[in-house]
Amino acid sequence: MFDCFRDGAGELLKRPDYLADFGRVYESDISLLAKIERGQTFREQGSPSWDAFASGDWAGALRLIESERDSVAAYFRDAARRSLAFRRIRVVEFPVSPYLQWEMNSFRLRSELGEQIRVLDAREIADLERETQVPEIVILGSSVMYAVIYDDDLKGAGALRFTEPDEIKTTTSEFESLYAKGEEFSEFFEREIAPLGPPTVH
């Protein structure tokens, strides 16, 4: 599974080029934006809520997430008008990391407003990760897919781009297989995240 990402293939894009290329998501022939996220902690560039979380201001981080409700709702309404669906698989290890606790609160908003998110226990994919972890993948319809790259500070640094149609088709099928195994986000959140107190940030 995900073999095309394991052989060093793909065209390397630095972060500005990746973000510019990702803009094709607004093209009319793209009907699906699918993501697999595997890492348990990252540094989010340009997120006031993450900055508040990282500084230890948990209440402020949650307020800032909620303050984005109107803009996020508008984003998903526009996507719906263009028949663009968002589907995400979030792989989770236990105990849940402080970053993931923050991210899940962000995802709660997105889930309420239109994103289809499922959570997958990392133990469920242990057989796929005997040699290396499942990559961080973004698929844009049948047009392109990316393996997202992070630097040593866990900041987004760019991506490897793949455009071969058969590889995209195969990866999309593999994504759907894992998505079917995942737990609905709301159920996971209420059981595993909602009862948690403020995270300790190191």
Reported as a pLDDT band with limits 50, 70 and 90, residue 1 is confident
Say if residue 109's pLDDT is above 80: yes
Mean pLDDT of the chain: 94
SS (H, E, C) the chain: CCHHHCCCCCEEEEHHHHHHHHHHHHCCCCCEEEEEECCCCCCCCCCHHHHHHHCCCHHHHHHHHHHCHHHHHHHHHHHHHCCCEEEEEEEECCCCCHHHHHHHHHHHHHHHHCCEEEEEEHHHHHHHCCCCCCCCEEEECCCEEEEEEECCCCCEEEEEEECCHHHHHHHHHHHHHHHHHCEEHHHHHHHHHCCCCCCCCC
pLDDT at 126: 94
Mean pLDDT of 182-199: 98
- Would you state the pLDDT for residue 26? 83
Average confidence (pLDDT) over 134-142: 95
Task: Indicate the pLDDT class of residue 100, thresholds 50, 70 and 90.
Answer: very high
Cα–Cα distance measured from residue 159 to residue 145, given in angstroms and rounded to the nearest whole number: 9
Is the pLDDT assigned to residue 6 strictly greater than 80?
no
pLDDT reading at 9 higher than 90: no
Residue 3 pLDDT grade (very low, low, confident, very high; cuts 50, 70, 90): confident
pLDDT of 8 strictly over 80: no
Dump pLDDT digits (tens) for 49-98: 999 999 999 999 999 999 999 999 999 999 999 999 999 999 999 999 99
Distance CA 105, CA 153 (A): 23
Give the pLDDT confidence of 15-56 residue by residue, as tens digits.
999 999 999 888 878 999 999 999 999 999 899 999 999 999
- Which residue is listed with tokens 């107190």? 197
State the pTM of this model: 0.94
- What is the layout of strands, in order, in the sheet containing 32-37? 11-14, 156-162, 144-150, 137-140, 32-37, 85-92, 116-121, 183-184
Q: Burial level of 116, CB count in 10 A (0-12/13-18/19+)?
A: middle
